[in-house]
Amino acid sequence: MKEKFNSIKTESFRKIILDFIFPCHRNDTFSVYGNLLVRLLTKKTNQYKTEEEFSNALIENYVMDFSLSKSNCGENWFYMYRFIIADNAILKDSQYDYQKTLSFIMDTIYNPYALSDSFYKEEVENAKNRLSVYIESGFKNINSYANIRMEELVDDCHYFSDSIYQHKKDIHKVTSKELYSYYKEIIGSKKPLVFAYGNIEDSFADLLKKSFGESRECSSYIPYQIRPFLPREEVNLVEETGTYNQSILKFVYKIKDYKQEDEVYFSLLRFLLSSQSTRILQEFLRDRDKLVYTASSDYNVCHGLFIIHAQIYREKYEVAKQTIFEIIKRLQDVSFLSPKIESIKERKRINLERQKDSFPSLIADFRMKYFQTGYPLNEEYEILKKITPEEFVDFVKRLKLDTIYYLEGSKDE
């Protein structure tokens, strides 16, 4: 059984980060609910009934930053309350009482601005309006729109079916009472998984552990597993036009016989294409062919997707496509790859040193290990060190081009 309370005690940083994670199973039906909650639960509580009062209370309780987010992890959603509080060993404020701050935190989580069995209708309406504007903005922004379309086009397994962009029409159906029931089921009646980072004294850790009471059940989650897409036979080529200045070109690959261990190869591929050490995309698309200001790559480790993204000028579309095909071909050339792979190994080694100064890296590594969603940096490096160019080429050969998406900008500068 995984530990529910986890802390990383370090004096290298000057603040304390407290993450309270409430996992639940992904369910399309509740996609809108979750997106409404993160807009609703961060502004007021029953104790601090206005945004001004709540904002003042955050500062009075030495909370430097507060957020609530929703993210995906395998078959789970994670609702995460993050409180960044001052470290009193640095601040040295005699008024600062950790117990009082923890009480405030508990109140924020478990005493939201609500009636006994419902949120206030007006608050829910406001959250719905904000969510609607957010969704509409996503459709109008070129980068966001291109990502939405790309997900729609590649998703033959409906893995992205809980995306909020597919549930816009469900927003108005949610009632204040149903939303509150959902909150109660997922958060209000549960104990979270707690992650505390920073100069955590034992007394503070004890306080944290005792804060949640015995009546609440522990949150549970489905252990992480990859859910890979299966490659399709035919390449899906989709070309659209929009009223933008720039054009966007995306190549999306799925992986034959994808397994979790492939993550290290994904990371290597992305570094080869996009890192400053080898910058293959920039070398070909920008330096040599003058096609882009920027090109990048990314991957989805849960579903086995690899994406190349380039922002181009419309007259260069055909040339850009051919250049990307050429790049993928070169990635199967051992003599081309060998020095570059060695360069990436060196970069990763050096990054292990650099990351010691990074609080976000420390946190990401710890969580990855806890949820077994991937390899922490030092473990990844140990695996990467042993990869040969030939093994990497074997991986590249398993990439199957699934979708080419082109969004042409029709506007002239």
Residues that bind another protein (CB under 8 A): 12-15, 43, 50-52, 55-56, 59-60, 62, 64, 86-87, 90-91, 126, 129-130, 133, 136-137, 139-142, 242-246, 275-279, 282-283, 286-287, 290-294, 311-313, 343, 346-347, 349-351, 353-354, 356-359, 409, 411, 413
By the 10 Å C-beta count (0-12 exposed, 13-18 middle, 19+ buried), 82 is classed as middle
Least distance from C-beta 261 to another protein, angstroms? 25
Nearer to another protein, 304 or 409 (CB): 409
User: Which are the contacts of 317, defined by CB distance < 8 A and separation ≥ 6?
Assistant: 247, 249, 406, 408
Nearer to another protein, 145 or 266 (CB): 145
Nearer to another protein, 117 or 298 (CB): 298
Least distance from C-beta 191 to another protein, angstroms? 28
Alpha-carbon torsion angle 263, 264, 268, 271, nearest 10: 70
Cβ neighbours of 5 (radius 10 Å)? 15
d(CA 79, CA 84): 16
Contact (Cβ atoms closer than 8 angstroms) between residue 362 and residue 197: yes
Least distance from C-beta 63 to another protein, angstroms? 9
Strands 5-9 and 193-198: parallel
d(CA 299, CA 407): 20
Least distance from C-beta 410 to another protein, angstroms? 10
Nearer to another protein, 279 or 303 (CB): 279
Nearer to another protein, 211 or 351 (CB): 351
Least distance from C-beta 407 to another protein, angstroms? 11
Q: Alpha helix (H) ranges present in 141-262?
A: 142-154, 176-183, 202-210
Nearer to another protein, 58 or 301 (CB): 58
Contact (Cβ atoms closer than 8 angstroms) between residue 112 and residue 46: yes
Least distance from C-beta 213 to another protein, angstroms? 29
Least distance from C-beta 295 to another protein, angstroms? 10
Nearer to another protein, 35 or 311 (CB): 311
Least distance from C-beta 192 to another protein, angstroms? 24
Nearer to another protein, 110 or 197 (CB): 197
Contact (Cβ atoms closer than 8 angstroms) between residue 81 and residue 108: yes
DSSP bridge pairs for 381: none
Least distance from C-beta 350 to another protein, angstroms? 3
124, two tokens? 């829910």
Nearer to another protein, 154 or 310 (CB): 310
d(CA 156, CA 159): 8
The string of DSSP codes covering 241-292 is: EES-SSEEEEEEEEETT--GGGHHHHHHHHHHHHSTTT-HHIIIIIIIT--E
Q: What share of the chain is helix, strand, coil (3-state, %, to 5)?
A: 50, 25, 30
